[in-house]
Each structure stands twice: as structure tokens, then as C-alpha cells.
Amino acid sequence: MLDTANRTAFDEGHELLRDQVRKFFDKELHPNLDRWEKEEIVDREFWRACGEAGLLCPTMPEEYGGLGADFGYNAVINEELAYAGSSAGITLQSDIVADYILAYGSEEQKQEWLPKMISGEAITAIAMTEPGTGSDLQNVKTTAKRDGNHYVINGSKTYITNGQNADLIVLVAKTDPNERAKGVSLILVEATREGFARGRNLDKIGQHSADTSELFFEDVRVPITNCLGEEGHGFFYLMNQLPQERLSIAVGAQASAQRAFDEAVTFTKERAAFGKTVFDFQNTRFTLADLATDLQVGWAHLDWAIKRHLAGELTATEGSAAKLWHTEVQWKCCDAALQLHGGAGYMNEYPIARIWRDARVQRIYGGTNEIMKEVIGRSL
């Protein structure tokens, strides 16, 4: 269990939610984790249960069915989900997609989708990455060409979280292929549209219970009114949302790092070698002391970043730095914790194996850590 006694970013309301989340996960998440890992997808029933418990999109206004809460509520849910060792895509819906629709959507779009997202009836994805285009979103090849009062969409996307379950996709496409940033728009595509197809559920190293898919668009027609915000402003919308997206990744990374550390402490205190516990060896204690120091610094920094974001002050550079630092610490903690497990750490029956596998992608998605360094470097 996460120790939150000395946290500074949260108030009593946040901690009451944390208690609710833990009880909910004990009932609805923990008993199903292993099955979801094998089936490589999370049940839609879990999404609806999250909706009924008020754990989806809590920052959305009450007029759409949300709690009208602050991002701290998202952070609490994110921390508890990551500490539980789950890769369920609910944080993508709550932390990223919902805010795009709220910030840039028409009232009709908000009324149509936000209540369904909050209840868990609708599952969403955001489709950025393409087979030949990763972090360079100005150079996407998927097109949305005007034809009367419709767009005709052609292209493909890959590595899309929630891709198998998604009812609605926020698609990054070129409405003007002759432009770079100014040619990018965000288009809402319902999964029921003719010409839309899901590819395979991709076989990943980790995060097995997170459905991650290829998506294909062949002459998919959607109304012009499905454009999210203004045409040609998509790239700028994406940049505006980056601080929260990258902070969200940092939140999960820190909680996962803590879980890895806690697993290592428990295991080394129980495992005997050469007449004493593994914990009693100086190397073990020094390794854990190093990790404990990183975690202490990490929690202090994370609370600082959350409070800055709640005040509307977290910059894109600071969000990138948070994503970079916390995911690097996550990998350090997970790898060291697995090493301290010895051969047991390589066995899937031990939680550290899943935690370690799931951690590897954190330094890649949301912008690779190399891109984070580029963003930070440009600000100097």
C-alpha cells in the first residue's frame, strides 16, 4: 500500500477518494488482473464499474455527469492503478481524451460523448502514431480530405492504446497535406463508420492487459462537424495538452517504482542465503538505500509538479522533465528490484516480473525520453 502520510499535493478529499479506489480495486481489479493479462484485454464490464464508482473522467463538469474535481483526483486514481500493477487504459480516457473534448469540442460533441465516457459506456482512444511516423506529428500521412460536408479519411495508425475496445477515436490527420503543423487537425471517428477497421491486438513485451492495436481508415466518411476544434489547429492543441499528458505518465511511473521497491524489500527480508536473509547483505541494503533516496526525491518532486499543474503553472518543459526523470527512476527501481529477486525475478509468478516488463515502454510512449531531452534542451 502506498504510504501517503507525508504527501503535500493532496487534501482530505483526495485521500477519501484514495480509500474508495483501494476498496474498489480490491473488489473489481485485483481478482481479474491475471486473467486480463492472459486475455490481453480488460473487460468492458470493468470500465462500466469504474464509471459507476465515479472513477472515470472525474475532472469533467457536473453538467456532463462528472465530479467537477481537480487533476489531483486523476492523480490518485493513476497512482493506485500503477501501484496495483495494472495497465488498464482508463487513465488515457480520464487524463487525455476527455480534456481534448472538453477544451476543444463543440457543445454537441461534449453532450454526445462526455456522459458516455464518464459512465464507462464509451471507451476512447487517441490515434497519433503511424507505422512510419512516431514523435514527428507534423509529418503524419493519414489524410482527411474535404468532400462536400464530409471528410474522407485514409491512412493507418499503430500502437494505439484501447484500440480494440474503442468506440471513439480522436484521430490526428492532415487536412492540408501541403502544410506541416498548420495542416494537422483532430477528427472524431466513431468505430461504427464504414471503412474503419481494427487490426490485430499487438503482441507486446509488457502491459499485456492493455489492448494496443493497429487501426485502418479506408475512405472513411465523417461529417465536417466531427472536426475537434478548428481545422488546422490540431498540432497546437496537441502541444497545449502535453504538460498534463506527460505529468500523468510521471505519476504512474513514480507509483510503479515504489511498488517495485516495496516488492524488493519484502522479498529480500524473507529470502535466506548463506545463513542469513538477502536483506542482511550490505550490497542489498546499499542498493535499497539508493533506491529509497531516489523515491524520496521523486515523491517530493511529483507533489511539486502536481501542485503547479493544479495552479495552471506547469509548463511543457517541466512536464517533459517530469516524464523523463520519473520514468528513468522507474526503470532503475524495477530493474534493481528484479535483480534483488535473483532467479525468482525472472519468473512470471512473482509480481516484479510484470512490473519490470510493463515499465519498459514508459520511456518510449508519450514522446521518447530522447525527445524529452530535446524539448528541455530547446528551452535552455
Query: Could you list the active site residues?
Result: 245
Distant-in-sequence, close-in-space partners of 356: CB < 8 Å, separation ≥ 6: 206, 260, 334, 335, 337, 338, 345
Q: What is the DSSP string of 210-249?
A: S-EEEEEEEEEEEEGGGB-SSTT-HHHHHHHTHHHHHHHH
For 271-278, the CB contacts below 8 A with 24+ separation are 271/342, 271/344, 278/340, 278/342
Query: How far is the C-alpha of 67 from the C-alpha of 73, rounded, in Å?
Result: 10
Question: What percentage of the chain's residues is helix, strand, coil (to nearest 5)?
Answer: 55, 15, 30
**Closest C-alpha among 106, 105, 187, 109 to residue 143:** 187
One-letter amino acid at 43 equals D
Q: How many CB atoms lie within 10 A of CB 38?
A: 10
Angle between helices 12-28 and 71-84 (to 10 degrees): 40
Supply the Cα-derived Rg of the chain in whole angstroms: 21
